[in-house]
Amino acid sequence: MTERARHDRAVLELFPESATVEKGELAIGGRSAASLAEEFGTPLVVYCERTLRAQARAYRSAAPDALVIYGAKAFPNVALLRLFAEEGLGADVSTLGELRFALAAGVPGERLVVHGNNKSDEELRAAAGAAAGLVVLDAPDEVERAARAGVRRVLVRVTSGIEADTHDAIRTGHHGSKFGLPPDEAIAAIARAREARLEAAGLHVHVGSQLLDTQAARMTVEWLAAFAAECRAALGWTPAVVDVGGGLGVRHVEDERAPAVDEFVGELVARLEHAWDLHGLPRARLVLEPGRSLVGRAGMTLYRVGVVKVTREAAAWVAVDGGMSDNPRPQLYGARYTALLANRAGEERAGAYSVTGPHCEEEVVIRHVALPEPRRGDLLAVPATGAYTLAMASNYNVAPRPAAVLVADGRARLIRRRETLDDLLAREVDG
């Protein structure tokens, strides 16, 4: 295989499962990028149904006895929530908005897990009203407030002190985290929950996000078994449910490696069972809360190329019609991405380009990506943008947020319409 063919294949692997390049044209779900851009405009986030379902099934088959719930924050979207519900998944929701979306998608109450480090009484009442299967208590005063709101079944979120190898903003298991309770307080919260006649069903941990190996997750479940044994000694109580959060990362660039779902979940389940047996604990129902690993690879963003500029410092800029308003991750976390010229994917690379957007600062969407010489009107496809992009999109510079489509078998279905300037202007109050 030539160097170029190897590179092309390495980039293509980052795209959804159904991605192909034929005659230089990138297609997803049997639809060419060009036809999608023409029909729906750009920027456009394209989700591949096959990849979404495959990821959901990978979770179900790696842990057949577990309840798998989609961490809706990765991309809260009614169509995707419905698709995952069809696959037997539930939803992890952490705001009234995410709860509303999950209910609109028909996610059954018993498969809803309600999170939040600062739940309002209104949120607790809404969780009770939706007959959510589990509410995860995250603060000492939530025990009594949840009971008063009519919540019945709860987990207590505990911090293990384990520091995941990931970006500071998405590391959540360490002591001092704003999430969860330190072990002593968690034990006290379980005791109080039982006094308050809540069903204290179990424990919750979430070590962090975008984990590219299994180490922190393995250590966390071992720690959790020891903590469950401590609960038994202190309270005569053991968890019937163990929710180990989400966290599995996805590859955004060629040189990144991430475990596959079956590898990550397989190791986690094996460790958990082993550790549970070592402590002689009764088996607990496992809950998994994947967000990014369900939707990250399934989504790609299409942008239209505008200005191509070689500046004084000999830096070649490619400006596209979106950027930090539809994907703030490079700015927020230093996230790296790569890209293909979707309409000229087979051509020889002409050099390294930096991709920027239209916003009023030196935003860099991608620093140095090898591309054929881009021309105005070309389409740039950025892989692995399905998670935490549209979810965190803004209207910076009054940019309407992009549309999202779901593609399969040559058909594309709009799953979120593009915002219009009229939508944005309608919220303005003048006089």
Tell me 395's DSSP state: -
* Positions of E strands within 98-221: 112-114, 134-137, 153-157, 199-204
DSSP state for residue 73 in the 8-state scheme: G
Catalytic residue among 1, 360, 426, 429: 360
Tell me how far apart the alpha carbons of residues 393 and 421 are, in angstroms, rounded to a whole number.
Answer: 16
Structure tokens belonging to residue 29: 């779900």
- Does position 289 bind ligand LLP by CB under 6 A? yes
CB neighbour class for 236 (10 Å; exposed up to 12, middle 13-18, buried from 19) = exposed
Instruction: Indicate which single residue of 53, 329, 344, 401 sits in contact with ligand LLP (rule: CB under 6 A).
Output: 329
Q: For residue 206, state whether it binds ligand LLP (rule: CB under 6 A).
A: yes
**Residue 360 catalytic?**
yes
Count the Cβ atoms, other than its own, within 10 Å of residue 332: 14
User: What is the pattern of x (binds ligand LLP, CB under 6 A) and - over residues 369-388?
Assistant: -------------------x
In angstroms, the CA 194 to CA 11 distance is 53
Q: Which of residues 73-92 bind ligand LLP (CB under 6 A)?
A: 73-74, 92
Binding-residue pattern over the window 96 to 135 for ligand LLP, x denoting contact by CB under 6 A: -------------------x--------------------
Return the structure tokens found at 422: 């009229």
Shortest CB 38 distance to ligand LLP, Å = 30
> In the stretch 216-255, what mask flags binding to ligand LLP with x, by CB under 6 A?
-----------------------------xxxx-------
Q: Please name the residues in contact with 130: beta carbons below 8 A apart, sequence gap of 6 or more.
A: 99, 103, 109, 112, 114
Write 424-429 long-range contacts (CB < 8 A, 24+).
424/395, 424/398, 424/400
| Least CB distance to ligand LLP at residue 327 (A) | 9
Per-residue interface string for the shown chain with ligand LLP, residues 14-53, x marking contact by CB under 6 A: ----------------------------------------
Q: How far apart are CA 179 and CA 155, in angstroms?
A: 13
Is 271 a residue that touches ligand LLP (CB under 6 A)? no
Size of the site for ligand LLP (CB under 6 A): 21
Active site residues per annotation: 360
Q: What residue ranges bind ligand LLP (CB under 6 A)?
A: 71, 73-74, 92, 115, 170, 206, 209-210, 245-248, 289-293, 329, 333, 388
